Structure 1
């Protein structure tokens, strides 16, 4: 059997409400040289019979159901099972935008010299495109939706699989590593790929990721770009929210997560100020924003910025 151009990998668990629509959005594609791999985490609702019914109609659908260690463990298993040249990950509550998507993207994939090709997605019923071209700096602050990305299988030989210690943001860490890697050429395709479901887990804070991966990346970048970049109040606010969302409550914790990296004085100041109030208060937007502005003005006045 000839290998398909695209392997679509769908991790699922108790997705009976949405997975039929997700699969139908794939099976109606005008371009047909793809396979679908469902990596199910031993669902106990109607997911299994729904998928088995559709798989019985179309041999391109392959179904595996067993307990896993989360979304990214299922995605890693899907990588091992995939036969395609390009790998694409879709959530069990996502769907391709229309029947022409794979036809459009296949023309890009068959001509490109890149190993990482990405486009845009829509959030739910919204008409807003997310989120155009990325570079490394932009990627430090917002992830590319995995529903928009087509990875050549060589990428996983270079970078490895998804790090399952990051429960909701392993794909973000993976994408940052791809953008840093010189062997991985990246291409942006200005087209809409999928409609992103709103029930996913990735909106929740992944504290291990924030502390162990994103904080060190931000520290490296700030010394590359220049410490004065933090004088921009928008950037300052992003740092403030990173410290808050990572739950860093004292200097000892901060220095532990920074490792050998030097921590700028304004960031040390943020931790000191946040530690003076209850963590529950910092979850209140107005309180957090007000304290951040006071801290910012204090550091400007005292010459730390």
Structure 2
């Protein structure tokens, strides 16, 4: 089985090298990295060019936002399974993709997800929050839950059958896609009880009050566009479902698995 990892990037020159190196460090042999650059102007293109030996394919052209870029990556992917690593993020360990490959080989699933830690933007080895997502249950969607998008891997055939990201949903496009695939179409979903990704703190949907209000509206629309009744109190239950991330004692976070020693702490490893 081949895994395609897609990175959408726009003006992330300070962090994109660490993301590329993180994919290159994976011990899973059959994987490819596709980088989609929306015409960055800050030197990102130069960093990508300097790391082309670790990239299977690049797409550099204007886009309509991150989910338009991810759709381009899905179309270009040659892997059986597709996942994403954003341009500020890194894999938690060198065997993250191996965990993904193992569960697809071992279980009859269409998609998987795992756990995630939020890390300090300037010091990526300092954990801020721990998102332990837990076992899959469709009923949890109606209580505001969703799996962490950067840890989600889906068979490409599922995107071809049920569609990719709806760019009209803005920052809620990942939520709509997961509601559509995992809840509405009831695809088979597995869970890896391992931290897969280190995600730098931040995020477009929560950047401003206006963005959060828009995201709340689009969260409800994610259900109605699929012919589903939105859960009661979604605008409250969805943020409340994230509360355990802030309360999880750091002693429950597993020891970090050392990565390839050629990568240093300046790159976040």
| TM-score clears 0.5 | yes
Q: Do 2:136 and 2:189's aligned partners in 1 also have CA atoms closer than 8 Å?
A: no
- Residue 27 (structure 1) aligns with: 24
Question: What is the CA–CA distance in structure 1 between the aligned matches of 2:29 and 2:238, rounded to whole Å?
Answer: 48
Q: Secondary structure of the residue that 2:171 maps to in structure 1?
A: coil
- Residue 244 (structure 2) aligns with: none
After TM superposition, the structure 1 = structure 2 runs for residues 17-166 of structure 1, keeping only pairs within 5 Å, are: 17-55=14-52, 57-58=53-54, 60-124=55-119, 125-126=127-128, 128-140=130-142, 141-166=144-169
Q: TM-score normalized by structure 2?
A: 0.75
Q: TM-score normalized by structure 1?
A: 0.67
Question: What is the CA–CA distance in structure 1 between the aligned matches of 2:186 and 2:148, rounded to whole Å?
Answer: 22
Cα 1:31/1:210, change in 2 over 3 Å: closer
The number of aligned residues is: 226
**Residue 182 of structure 1, CA deviation:** 4.5
> Which digits, 9 at most, give the CA deviation of each residue in 1:70-115, with x for residues without a partner?
0110011111100000000111001000112122221112222110
Question: What is the CA–CA distance in structure 2 between the aligned matches of 1:135 and 1:116, rounded to whole Å?
Answer: 13
Question: What is the CA–CA distance in structure 1 between the aligned matches of 2:167 and 2:179, rounded to whole Å?
Answer: 15
Over aligned residue pairs, what C-alpha RMSD do you find? 2.7
**Residue 189 of structure 1, CA deviation:** 1.6
Q: Do 1:85 and 1:152's aligned partners in 2 also have CA atoms closer than 8 Å?
A: yes
Q: Do 2:113 and 2:190's aligned partners in 1 also have CA atoms closer than 8 Å?
A: yes
The answer to which structure has the higher helix fraction is 1
Question: What is the CA–CA distance in structure 2 between the aligned matches of 1:240 and 1:78, rounded to whole Å?
Answer: 28
After TM superposition, the structure 1 = structure 2 runs for residues 240-251 of structure 1, keeping only pairs within 5 Å, are: none
> Which digits, 9 at most, give the CA deviation of each residue in 1:35-69, with x for residues without a partner?
000011000011101011111x33x4321111000
- Residue 175 (structure 1) aligns with: 178
Cα 1:216/1:240, change in 2 over 3 Å: farther
Cα 1:167/1:240, change in 2 over 3 Å: closer
> Which digits, 9 at most, give the CA deviation of each residue in 1:217-236, with x for residues without a partner?
898265xxxxxxx7xxxx59
Q: Which runs of 5 or more residues in structure 1 are unaligned? A: 223-229, 243-305
Rg larger in 1 or in 2?
A: 1
- Residue 189 (structure 2) aligns with: 186
Q: Which runs of 5 or more residues in structure 2 are unaligned? A: 120-126, 241-269
Question: What is the CA–CA distance in structure 2 between the aligned matches of 1:240 and 1:148, rounded to whole Å?
Answer: 18
- Residue 238 (structure 1) aligns with: 236
Question: What is the CA–CA distance in structure 2 between the aligned matches of 1:176 and 1:126, rounded to whole Å?
Answer: 27
**Residue 212 of structure 1, CA deviation:** 2.6
Compare relative contact order (CA 8 Å, sep 6+) and give the higher one, 1 or 2. Answer: 2
Question: What is the CA–CA distance in structure 2 between the aligned matches of 1:8 and 1:102, rounded to whole Å?
Answer: 9
Which sits farther off after the overlay, 205-214 or 115-124?
205-214
